């Protein structure tokens, strides 16, 4: 999903920078072309947005790709400080706060067991750069002999 959004914004930025879109503003009864100075401001703003999205989202994903390919996920065991809650724009993301060795950490939840409450002991399997995680209750984890 993040990759699709990033690619969409990048393509739109390139099209605007290449003057593919004609940006017009209605002033009274006639349309006036936006002057070059304003167009340049739009271009710079879009480029800055793409850079921020790239640094904020794409670099952590790229850094985590080696962990995914090698299946070397990080694992923490801790106590739930705050249950998994939806947050972000439109509530699209879930996060959980877990106390691990006396420190509170925020993990972005991709999947979690049902009925995880504050104070439950959990195992968090996560990627270190994006902190995308799978949260499981300790008693629901099968024991391997």
Token pair belonging to 53: 């999205």
pLDDT tens digits for 47-62?
Answer: 888 888 777 777 888 8
Decide the pairing of beta strands 103-112 and 132-137. Answer: parallel
Among the four given CATH numbers 1.10.530, 2.40.50, 3.90.1150, 3.40.50, the one describing domain 74-140 = 2.40.50
Q: What integer pLDDT is reported at residue 116 of this predicted model?
A: 87
Note the pTM of the prediction, 2 decimals: 0.61
Q: What integer pLDDT is reported at residue 124 of this predicted model?
A: 92
pLDDT tens digits for 88-145?
Answer: 666 667 888 999 998 999 888 888 888 888 989 999 999 988 888 999 988 755 555 4
Beta-strand runs (E) in the chain: 24-27, 30-33, 74-87, 93-100, 103-112, 121-126, 132-137
Q: What integer pLDDT is reported at residue 23 of this predicted model?
A: 57
Q: Is 110 left (phi over 0), alpha (psi -120 to 50) or beta?
A: alpha
Q: What integer pLDDT is reported at residue 5 of this predicted model?
A: 67
């Amino acid at each position: 999903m993040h990759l699709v959004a990033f690619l969409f914004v990048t393509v739109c930025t390139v099209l605007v920078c290449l003057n593919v879109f004609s940006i017009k503003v209605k002033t009274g009864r006639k349309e006036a072309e936006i002057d070059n100075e304003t167009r340049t401001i739009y271009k710079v703003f879009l480029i800055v947005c793409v850079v921020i999205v790239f640094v904020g989202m794409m670099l952590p994903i790229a850094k985590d790709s080696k962990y995914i390919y090698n299946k070397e996920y990080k694992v923490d065991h801790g106590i739930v400080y705050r249950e998994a809650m939806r947050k972000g724009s439109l509530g699209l993301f879930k996060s959980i706060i877990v106390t691990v060795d006396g420190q509170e950490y925020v993990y972005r939840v991709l999947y979690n067991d049902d009925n995880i409450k504050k104070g439950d002991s959990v195992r968090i399997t996560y990627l270190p750069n994006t902190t995308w995680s799978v949260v499981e209750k300790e008693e629901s984890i099968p024991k391997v002999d």
